[in-house]
Amino acid sequence: MTGSVRRLAALSGLAALSLFAQLSVFSGDGAPVAKAQDARRTVRVWHAYDEAEARALREVVRDFERSPEGQPYRLEVLHVAFGAYAAKLESAIPTGEGPDVFIDAHERIVTYVERHLVQPFGALSGRERFDFDAAHLEALTVGRALYGLPLALKCGALYVNDALLPNDPATLEELEALRAHLPVGTYPLVFEAESAYWDAGLLHAYGGRLLDSSGRYAFFGPAAERTLAHLRRLVDTAVVPAEASGDLVKKLFAGGRAATAIGGPWLAPDLPRSLHWHVAPLPSVRAASGAPLVPYVTIEAALIATRAREIEGARAFARFLAGPKGAAVRARVARQIVASRTAALDPELVRDPFLSAFRRSAEHGLPLPTNPRMRSTFEPAQRAIRNYLRGGRSARDVLEQGERRFDDLVRPLPAERSPAPALLVVSLGLLLAVAVAVRRARDPHFRLAVKRSLPAYAYVTHAVIAVGLLVIAPLAVGAATSLFAGAPGNLHYVGLANYVDVLTARGGALLGTGSFWLVLLVTILWTAVNVALHLLLGVGLALLLDRPTLRFRGIYRVLLVLPWAVPSYVTALAWKGMFHRQFGAVNAMLSALGGEPISWFARWSTAFAANVATNVWLGFPFMMVVTLGALAAIPQDLYEAAEVDGATAWQRFRLVTWPLLAPSLGPAIAMGAVWTFNMFNVVFLVSGGEPDGTTDILVSEAYRWAFTRSQQVGYAAAYAVLIFGVLWIGTRALGRATAPDAAGTKS
């Protein structure tokens, strides 16, 4: 049936049949398939793969649909951004709108089981079990149930620049000795030395752990102290660059300024073809009795969602994807280190030095613990590492502080309470509201006023509905969430316990690091400094640009508005790079002027200054544009009259310009204060809260509780409600302070 015939059928009353015939979807290989002509059952697949891995997945999907076991099924493949992947799974699966099968890392398996997002995969045949390593299957087992099939292994290995290091180093000490033989500005080794994830390889070599087998924090003691001392030696002797991020590691190695780099398989696609390199297993550490660096290993797995519509089809595809045929495609196309033993023993893959090196590294690696507490170890461990490398504090001091911080993050949630008192209060409030409404409805004057206003109400009904759904409803849901505790999907009512914990600093010092009151003081200072500088620069530049004698005013206005036009996160990342200790433009200018480079994020004052500089760059154009508009509305007659009276330039500004600017700047200052108070992008991306979280503001602290600290959404919602209250009080006070005086208005 052609499209035109279908439309005629719809117009003649066969709308349902026509719609069914017109609907089409795309199969895994991109070919449109009409539902009316395709009786195959749909299996939904979600992933967060990059370009090469997504291409390999598409090939596997095509092969599966052509295979005998895949003939009854048609696959719908959806790519979800990595940053939003877990959140979308948690929101979509419980409603039945999620995938049938999805690909994710094994360390989340226990969390998914607790939140009822995955279901047991089922029994495997003896041949299937033999195809996978027992440790990989164990990592995907909770209780006695297997919850997925292992697909690929991801871990760190040593990338070697052939031009700078022709032979693979056997020990880490060999790389340290290489420092004296390399050109200036070239490093023997680059890796993220301030990352707990990458430092774990050295920690494991010394016999330490981040989390022990019973789920207790283990980053303390002699092994941790020796690890920190070794890291400091690597940084102080310039074997490893200081404050190295993942992007800096990639740039240094890709640019030929590093002999070796520790990175995962995802680093390879970003390396230029002109660079000659190969991958080798991680070296051993003589200082650790010759033990090798032991990286963490992530096992990617195919998991079945709890509310999968096509369970058998999902299992069939997962078996094909993880099995020898699918694994071979993934290894050849995406160069994955596949978990299938049969595929890994393929002669072509065995001869691939890249895959062989990463496989050897994975065989000696340590699978990331699946204990949900593992996620809570990274923040305190990483802060301990940064405090030691940047702040000069003793190893024992920072490690003990990390242990205390971990204990605070994983402490028991508030006990469940009865919602009866809250329901009683709400019921009484509703009864009171109904009584007031009934009383007013009996008033004939009120009824007459409502009747006369009905046409006006009709005009604003759609706006009321939109604001109610998009603004008021989310605020109400957020406020209600603050009365609960736990992770998403596992909340229980606790009343005002979250507010008590927030306002009492969780039982610690009221002005201790990370307490609500200290963060509030930092946020108020942050807002006041930024708004003051926005106002000073914005008004000053507007006064200059308003001068009629200034040439090229239009060009200057466009250039000065550009910082406001660029997305804030792009600007924040650019300024973060400018403040880098070794490679930043700011320190380069200081060195050119004879100054010493500064570790901007090692001290509160410099980190706070870096955040302020970035936000001032972003915010002054708004105040400048508002001021220019207000200046254009001031009559020139007033200035002429002031000149005739002999007023100086300062007197004209103080007695004419400023009194007429103030009414327009009042709302702009209020808006700027609200924006700055909640300026998450700058604080999170520039300083990241460093040092030790002391430059965090309320909104970034709430984000950490919601997404990185065991996802305590109720606690984060209490933070959000308090932020709303602070802003409401502040804007009301600011509005009264900037409102024109009644007497002055009359005069």
146/161 same-domain check: no
Residue 553 counted as domain residue: yes
Return d(Cα 260, Cα 239) in angstroms, integer. 10
Q: What is the pLDDT of residue 11?
A: 35
Selected residue with higher pLDDT from 2 and 439: 439
Task: Give long-range contacts, CB 8 A cutoff, 24+ apart: 251-256.
Answer: 252/187, 252/190, 253/159, 253/161, 253/190, 253/277, 256/161, 256/163, 256/164, 256/186
Q: In residues, how long is the chain?
A: 747
pLDDT for 250 equals 93
Domain with 692, as residue range(s), is 519-711
Tens of pLDDT, residue by residue over 451-509, are 888 888 888 888 989 999 998 998 899 899 999 998 777 789 999 999 999 999 988 88
Residue 86 pLDDT: 86
138 shares a domain with 257: no
Q: Which residue, among 24, 305, 30, has the nearest Cα to 147 in the 3D structure? A: 305
pLDDT band at residue 557, thresholds of 50, 70 and 90?
confident
Phi, psi of 489 (to 5 degrees): 85, -5
284 plus 317 within the same structural domain: no
Residue where a domain stops, chosen among 351, 367, 383: 367
Please list, in sequence order, all residues whose beta carbon lies within 8 angstroms of the beta carbon of residue 543, skipping any fewer than 6 positions away: 627, 631, 653, 657
Cα 24 to Cα 30, 35, 79, 519: the distances in Å are: 12, 6, 19, 53
Structure tokens at 71: 């003939």
Compute the distance between CA of residue 81 and CA of residue 84 in angstroms, rounded to an integer.
6
CA distance 302 to 271: 29
Give me the mean pLDDT over the 55-64 stretch. 95
Q: Residue 485 — φ and ψ, nearest 5°?
A: -135, 155
Would the pLDDT of 28 be above 80?
A: no
pLDDT for the residue 584: 87
The residue among 719, 269, 322 whose CA lies nearest residue 498 is 719
| Mean predicted confidence (pLDDT) in 594-605 | 88
Residue 285 CA, distance from chain mean position: 34
Has residue 465 been placed in a domain? no
Same domain for 66 and 191, yes or no, is no
Report the DSSP beta bridge partners of residue 358.
none
Distance in angstroms (rounded) separating the CA atoms of residues 75 and 65: 8
Decide if 428 is inside a domain.
no
Residues 325 and 377 in one domain: no
**Predicted confidence (pLDDT) per residue in 159-210, tens digit:** 999 999 988 999 999 999 998 889 888 999 999 999 999 999 999 999 999 9
Number of CB atoms found within 10 A of residue 447's CB: 12
Segment (H or E) for 624: helix 604-632
Q: In this structure, what CATH number is given to the domain that contains residue 52?
A: 3.40.190.10
Give me the CATH number covering residue 525: 1.10.3720.10
Report which DSSP code applies to 514.
Answer: T
pLDDT of residue 738: 66
Tokens of residue 667, six digits: 């709302």
DSSP 8-state symbol, 266: G
Find out whether 72 and 313 touch, Cβ atoms under 8 Å: yes
Token readout for 628 is 């220019």
How far is the C-alpha of 368 from the C-alpha of 469, rounded, in Å? 42
What is the DSSP secondary-structure string of 115-140? TT-B-------HHHHHHS-HHHHHHT
3-state SS assignment for residue 70: helix
Bridge-based pairing of strands 284-285 and 157-161 is: unpaired
Residues 103-122: tens digit of each pLDDT: 999 999 998 998 899 999 98
> Does the residue 460 lie in any domain?
no
Residues 252 and 357 in one domain: no
pLDDT score for 740 = 60
Q: Does residue 267 share a domain with residue 128?
A: no
Give the pLDDT score at 17.
Answer: 31
- How do residues 380-428 score in pLDDT, each as one tens digit? 999 999 999 987 789 999 999 999 999 998 888 898 999 888 889 889 9
Average pLDDT, stretch 33-42?
61
* 681-704 confidence digits (pLDDT tens): 999 999 999 888 899 999 999 999
74 with 27: CB under 8 angstroms? yes
Least confident of 65-69, 87-91, 137-141, 610-614: 87-91
The structural domain count of the chain equals 3
* Long-range pairs of 121-128 with CB within 8 A, sequence gap ≥ 24: 121/145, 121/146, 121/147, 121/148, 121/149, 121/303, 121/304, 121/315, 121/318, 122/146, 122/315, 128/319, 128/323
> Can you give the pLDDT at residue 741?
56
List the one residue out of 24, 20, 46, 45 whose CA is nearest residue 34: 24
Residues 144 and 162 in one domain: no
Q: Is 505 left (phi over 0), alpha (psi -120 to 50) or beta?
A: left
Bridge-partner residues for 101, per DSSP?
45, 304
Is 329 a domain residue?
Answer: yes
Per residue in 495-515, pLDDT tens?
Answer: 999 999 999 998 888 888 889
Whole-prediction pTM:
0.83
141 and 278: one domain?
Answer: no
pLDDT band, very low/low/confident/very high, at 739 (cuts 50, 70, 90): low
Q: What is the mean pLDDT of the chain?
A: 87
In a domain, 458, yes or no: no
- pLDDT for the residue numbered 38: 57
For residue 559, what are the CA distances in angstroms to 211, 444, 555, 565, 566? 52, 61, 6, 10, 12
**Domain for residue 4, yes or no?**
no
358 plus 392 within the same structural domain: no
Residue 439: pLDDT band (50, 70, 90) is: confident
Spatial separation of the C-alpha atoms in residues 473 and 690, rounded to whole Å: 35
317/64 Cα distance (integer angstroms): 7
- 244 and 149 assigned to the same domain: no
For the chain, first and last CA: distance in Å? 79
Q: 459 in a domain, yes or no?
A: no
- Closest listed residue to residue 389, CA positions, set 251, 286, 172, 241: 241
Cβ–Cβ < 8 Å for 380, 409: yes
Residue by residue, DSSP assigns 479-530 as HHHTTEESSTT--EE-TTHHHHHHHTGGGS-TTSTT-HHHHHHHHHHHHHHH
**Helix residue spans in 269-344 (DSSP H):** 311-322, 324-334, 341-344
- Please tell me whether residues 613 and 579 are part of one structural domain: yes
